[in-house]
């Protein structure tokens, strides 16, 4: 059970594996008013930056679950480096099936709603681990602009236009699922650029060092095509945000 090696190569040494930067992640932690001892479950926790920095800055405790062995190992190293390894733990496993022994105050899935087949299913997955009155954090793309054709949809890594909603539609979907939106932190075009462009540099450096690797041709094509795809489509049409929800 693991992610393909190309994911690890692409992300390189990035600590946040989505388009919000460290400042926005810190803003989110302040905005949802985290308190000392708040318990958090982070499904698809990546390199653990959310849990590790919030444990350092707010005194939270929690568990992160991720399918990637490399990311899980990096999360544990980050926790040790920040001196919070006694407050947070990271589990290598299937986030879609993980349920903690005790309900948590905050259940998060920031940018991986595929584990539940979309937003409604992921909300259900998170809710089963949440204490009464607890908060969900859901990270999800949305259409900034209406995509005019299938080429735009595909360039934004969507299987169909209906896979994502626009921002009002996404907020409405939360309500349809029975949850109130109480906070949100949205990526902007600059944070999208920082995330996307970091991939290009990671890919280029890896290609320079591994020209004969079996993945070289595939990742060379990605590096050739992705910058234009990003500036022409993704940064214009696709938004991304983290949304804090409380059950109605």
Domain ranges of the chain: 5-247
Walk across the sheet containing 179-186 and list its strands.
88-92, 61-66, 39-43, 104-110, 130-143, 238-247, 179-186
pTM for the full predicted model = 0.96
- What does residue 147 show for φ and ψ, rounded to 5 degrees? -65, 130
Q: Is the pLDDT of residue 1 over 90?
A: no
* Architecture field, domain 5-247: 3-Layer(aba) Sandwich (3.40)
Q: Is the pLDDT of residue 8 over 90?
A: yes
Average pLDDT, the chain: 97
Q: How far is CA 36 from CA 86, 164, 187, in A?
A: 14, 35, 27
CA dihedral 48, 115, 20, 207 (to 10 degrees): 80
Position 59 scores a pLDDT of: 98
Q: Is the pLDDT of residue 206 over 90?
A: yes
Rg (CA), the chain: 18
Do 157 and 166 contact (CB within 8 A), yes or no? no
**pLDDT band for position 86 (cuts 50, 70, 90):** very high
| C-alpha–C-alpha distance, residues 45 and 64, integer Å | 5
pLDDT average, residue stretch 210-215:
98
| C-alpha–C-alpha distance, residues 43 and 113, integer Å | 10
């Amino acid at each position: 059970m693991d992610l393909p090696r190309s994911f690890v190569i692409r992300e390189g040494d990035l600590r946040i594996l989505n388009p919000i930067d460290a400042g926005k992640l810190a803003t989110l932690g302040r905005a949802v008013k985290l308190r000392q001892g708040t318990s958090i479950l982070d499904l698809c926790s990546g390199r653990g930056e959310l849990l590790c920095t919030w444990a350092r800055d707010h005194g939270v405790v929690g568990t992160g679950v991720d399918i990637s062995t490399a990311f899980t190992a990096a999360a544990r190293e980050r926790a040790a480096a920040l001196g919070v390894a006694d407050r947070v733990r990271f589990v290598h496993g299937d986030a879609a099936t993980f349920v903690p022994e005790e309900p948590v105050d905050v259940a998060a899935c920031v940018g991986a709603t595929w584990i539940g087949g979309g937003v409604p299913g992921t909300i259900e997955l998170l809710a089963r681990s949440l204490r009464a009155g607890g908060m969900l954090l859901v990270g999800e793309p949305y259409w900034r602009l209406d995509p005019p054709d299938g080429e735009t949809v595909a360039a934004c890594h969507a299987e169909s236009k209906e896979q994502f909603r626009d921002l009002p539609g996404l907020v409405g979907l939360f309500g349809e699922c029975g949850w109130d939106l109480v906070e949100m932190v949205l990526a902007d075009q600059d944070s999208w650029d920082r995330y996307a462009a970091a991939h290009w540099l990671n890919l280029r450096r890896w290609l320079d060092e591994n020209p004969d690797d079996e993945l070289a041709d595939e990742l060379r094509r990605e590096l050739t095509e992705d910058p234009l795809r990003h500036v022409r489509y993704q940064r214009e049409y696709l938004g991304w945000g983290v949304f804090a929800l409380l059950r109605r």
